[in-house]
Amino acid sequence: MSAMRRAIDTITIVIVLLLAWQALHQIAGETALPGPLPTLSYLTGLVQTSRFADNAAATALSFAFALMLAYAIGLTIGVWMGAHYLSGAVGEPILVALYSLPKITLYPVVLLIFGLGISGKVAFGALHGILPVALLTMAAIRNISPVYLKSARTMKLSQAQTVLTVLFPAMLPEIVSGLRIGLTVTLLGVLLAEMFASKQGLGFLIMNAMSLLQNEEMIAVAVLLFAFAALANALLLWAEHHWHPRV
């Protein structure tokens, strides 16, 4: 019943957004902002071209590497700062400060160090993702209730058992939200990198379409990325609730 209502709500939001788009199109005019229908029909044509496939593959590859790096480094820092009190107390405000910086200003440094190729994009995407993953992992470890550890001791669980059956399930929900936020900001990082200086990728495709005044293509790609991010987020949110049904 509630699932049904949520589905109806989501569909309503999508319809309202499409209507708003159509209305904006009427105001802005055909060339500035193509309407939803022509754009979507353009999109179905676009995804079949090799130009699209090549750029999408470039973005997907950078994104996959960046995400792996962000998760690996973020989890390592998070576990370290969560387990070691002094490091966490010293480091957390520094991480929070870094998190709210406009990281795009640092992109030229990344470019100077890693060059214009894929490694620069990967590094910049990972730079975005590391911080939320680290911060939420750290919080997950710190928020473990001491009662859990006491009960584990009372039940005479071995260290491996404690980690696997007590600590890990207790930390999982928060870590999954860290991974979810890490995923979206890493994607943003990769796209920003492609928009600024790149000859490949969906971010480049958007900027290129803008300079060629191909507004249909620009909006089609933007909408596609929008839908992809929303869908990925919904899946991870679902996983979060699935593993943590109490909330």
Q: Residues in the site for another protein, rule: CB under 8 A? A: 6, 9-10, 12-13, 24, 28, 32-33, 86, 89-91, 93-94, 96-97, 100-109, 111-113, 180-181, 184, 187-188, 191-192, 195-196, 203, 206-207, 209-210, 213, 215, 218-219, 221-222, 225-226, 229-230, 232-234, 237
CB 136 within 8 A of CB 178: yes
Least CB distance to another protein at residue 166 (A): 29
Return the number of the residue (33 or 149) whose C-beta is nearest another protein: 33
In angstroms, rounded to a whole number, what is the distance separating the alpha carbons of residues 116 and 219?
Answer: 26
Residue (168 or 238) nearer to another protein, CB? 238
Question: How near is the Cβ of 5 to another protein at its closest, in Å?
Answer: 8
Q: Are 55 and 201 in contact, with CB atoms under 8 Å apart?
A: yes
Decide whether 125 or 167 has the Cβ nearer to another protein: 125
Minimum CB distance to another protein, residue 45 (Å): 19
Query: Whole-number minimum distance, CB 224 to another protein, in Å?
Result: 10
Of 137, 134, 162, 160, residue with least CA distance to 150 = 162
Nearer to another protein, 164 or 237 (CB): 237
Q: Which is nearer to another protein, 72 or 230 (CB)?
A: 230
In the bound complex, what is the minimum distance in angstroms from residue 120's beta carbon to another protein? 12
Within a 10 A sphere around the Cβ of 10, how many other Cβ atoms?
12
Closer of 53 and 106 to another protein (Cβ):
106
Least Å distance, CB 79 to another protein, is 19
